[in-house]
Amino acid sequence: MPKWFTPLAGLCAVMFAASPVLIANAPYESTMGLVQKIFYYHLPSAWIFLLSAIVCGIASARFLFGGSPRQDRLAYAAAELTVLFGAIVLVTGPLWARKAWGVWWQWDVRLTSSLMGWMVAWAYLLVRKYGGPGSDKLAAGLALFGMANVPFVYVSVNYWRTIHPATSVVPTLPVDMGMALWFSVACFLLLFVLLLRLRVHLEEQRARLDALYLAVDD
Amino acid sequence: MTLFKRVAAATLLTVSLAGLAAAQQPEPKQQDEFVPVSQLPPQDQLPAAPLLVTAYAFVWVALFAYVASVARRLSRVQREVERLESEIKRGTRA
């Protein structure tokens, strides 16, 4: 692992431990009250969910057209993180919606397209695990669809009538709410970089193990 | 009168009485104006704290579980790598 990994992991742990304090001190939103504080973890995890789908898609495209195993390992790691952060988004969102909207789930375009992106990431992992020989390229094709879905997820709330808030919410936040949000975004972004590096390291070790098995068999 | 007829008659009588009692109840007052959520009676309000705590707990548990899962997989692979490397050095395989 690189030298920067351990100090940054420590920093990330401290930041995550401090984040509830900032969130608790942020002002209450006037109509939703306490439950709106789910927003400070929900939104950053949603952004990381979309970012990891993009990383997975770009790495998969580079693997498909360049054949680099390094890109394939990056895509595999990013797909797993897409599933992780997607699960966080899809659980925290309904918990907030139950109080704010009165329903757990609504089949509107933002929620449905997010669910679809999450299922594409799951499909990627399942194809990699059970697809047999050639599954890496098949999964890479799936990742391109997952990446193509990302802009649709993001802009959907601005073009369709939906119960979900539009993308104009963040720029209009008051300073105290904005500080807590951007601190959480920094926490999740740092965590994403660290987890991605850790997960790529696991794939590198697996590749090394495969090479060793081949060497022993020869 | 057979037992079946007695049970059927008793059921019919109970249902009729229940229907009569329901018909005599005054209709509930229609709500004709907007009531803010914060002014709803306590039994109609959904508490926010359990939802908030569940959301944050889920995030922390999911992240811890994932880190633990990657660490476990990594240590297993590294043990196997070390074992094979030592076997290659010795020139044998178990």
> Looking at this predicted complex, what is its ipTM?
0.92
Q: B-chain residues within 8 Å CB-CB of A84?
A: 62-63, 66
Segments making up each domain of chain A, as ranges: 5-217
Establish if B76 belongs to a structural domain.
yes
Instruction: Give per-residue pLDDT as tens, A17-55.
Output: 999 999 999 988 888 888 889 999 999 999 999 999 999
A54 close contact with B: CB closer than 8 A:
no
Share of chain A above pLDDT 70, in %: 100
By a Cβ cutoff of 8 Å, what residues of chain B touch chain A?
37-38, 46, 48-49, 51-52, 54-56, 58-59, 62-63, 66-67, 70, 73-74, 77-78, 80-81, 84-85, 87-88, 93
Name the least confident of A32-36, A144-148, A186-190, B60-64.
Answer: A32-36
For the entire predicted model, the pTM comes to: 0.83
Establish if B87 belongs to a structural domain.
yes
Give the three-state DSSP class for B45.
Answer: coil
Residue B13 confidence (pLDDT): 77
Establish if B16 belongs to a structural domain.
no
Q: A-chain residues within 8 Å CB-CB of B89?
A: none
With an 8 Å Cβ cutoff, are B81 and A205 in contact?
Answer: yes
Name the least confident of A166-180, B9-23, B26-40, B76-90.
Answer: B26-40
Establish if B28 belongs to a structural domain.
no
Name the least confident of A26-30, A47-51, A208-212, A213-217.
Answer: A213-217
Q: A-chain residues within 8 Å CB-CB of B37?
A: 31
With an 8 Å Cβ cutoff, are A34 and B70 in contact?
Answer: no
Instruction: Give per-residue pLDDT as tens, B25-43.
Output: 666 566 666 766 667 666 6
Establish if B79 belongs to a structural domain.
yes
**Number of folded domains that form chain B:** 1
Instruction: Give per-residue pLDDT as tens, A174-185.
Output: 898 999 999 999
Assigned CATH topology for domain A5-217: Four Helix Bundle (Hemerythrin (Met), subunit A) (1.20.120)
Establish if B38 belongs to a structural domain.
no
Of B55, B70, B85, the CB nearest to A38: B55
Establish if B70 belongs to a structural domain.
yes
Instruction: Give per-residue pLDDT as tens, A75-110.
Output: 999 999 999 999 999 999 999 999 888 899 999 999
